[in-house]
Structure 1
Amino acid sequence: MQYYEDVEIGDTNEFGAYEVTGEEIVEFADQYDPQPFHTDEEAASESAFGELVASGWHTASICMRLLVEGALEEQAAMGARGVDELRWRRPVTPGDVLSVRTEVLDKRVSESDPRRGYVDTLLEGRNQNDAVVISWIGLGMIERRDPET
């Protein structure tokens, strides 16, 4: 288990490989983001994207899943205070294979609860060409191994 004390500013990690399908793009969009360039191939071909693209929220959800499976399951994670600087950098299309890269930007002990530390981490979702498709700064909370120090 990785605790707050085990995390260092500058730590990086890369993990995951998830292939996005056209069917799931449409299914997600039908339920959560029903814009035509997410739900209809013909309409998408006439959009600014020129083809079917995943909702940014779908892309964020995929990357969150990769983050949980690749890092958070082995960390004494206590949730998050939110995210900053969420950006959709480029469209995700059917057949793209997404992975995640993280970098710890900052850490500090909570002033209100010494049992937890705050860790700010840059997350970049990347496609099979290593192009960044999404990024955000996660404002995580991690349990401290020894809150008395």
Structure 2
Amino acid sequence: MPTPAKFYLEDLSVGQIFTSGTAQLDEKAIVEFARSYDPQPFHLDASAAKDTLFEGLAASGWHTASTTMRLLVEGGMPVAGGLIGAGVEVSWPKPTRPGDTLQVTSEITRVTPSRSRPDRGIVTVRSETSNQDGHIVQIMTSKLVVFSRSTGQDDMIRG
């Protein structure tokens, strides 16, 4: 798979939209994640989950968030230097279910060059993670540190 183009601060503008690839969550993955990180009955056992608010097995919101992050890193938000978070707000309007195929659509909502550090800025991004039916299962607004191309960051980023 070809490496996606990497975007620097100068390349980004309000209104730009990026779309990720997809990832499917099956029951086994949901239960394994929950067992390690969010061991609640509605994430661990389909039978026990029937009598909960979710009325069936649901992925942990943190599993949805982790999957979203993977999709963004794999090309859904191709920022040079990586996705360096400076803050995030997240909500889960609908549960992610076994068999759901997730995809992330991200929109740049603000680009703010730093006044004190000309080699970077803060980019605000609203990302919606949707399932195969188009239902939004997560909304995440992130502030990312994004480097400028013009300040010699290229060598540092390549490592």
Q: TM-score range by the shorter chain?
A: over 0.9
Aligned residue identity for 2:97: T
2:47 pairs with 1:28: no
In structure 1, stretches of 5+ residues that fail to align are: none
8 Å CA contact 1:78, 1:143 repeated in 2:
no
Match of 1:108 in 2: 112
Percentage of matched positions with identical amino acids:
39
Match of 1:6 in 2: 11
- For residues 38-53 of structure 1, the aligned pairs below 5 Å read 38-53=43-58
**For 2:143, which of 124, 132, 139 is the aligned residue?**
139
Offset at residue 71 of structure 1 (A)? 3.6
Give the TM-score of the pair, scaled to structure 1. Answer: 0.92
The Cα RMSD (Å) is: 1.6
SS at match of 2:19: strand
CA distance in 1, matches of 2:71, 2:23: 8
In structure 2, stretches of 5+ residues that fail to align are: 1-5, 153-159
Give the TM-score of the pair, scaled to structure 2. Answer: 0.87
CA distance in 2, matches of 1:39, 1:58: 12
Please list the CA deviations of residues 19-39 of structure 1 after superposition, one character each: whole Å capped at 9, or x if unmatched: 111011110001110110001
Q: Which structure shows the higher strand fraction? A: 1
Offset at residue 57 of structure 1 (A)? 0.3
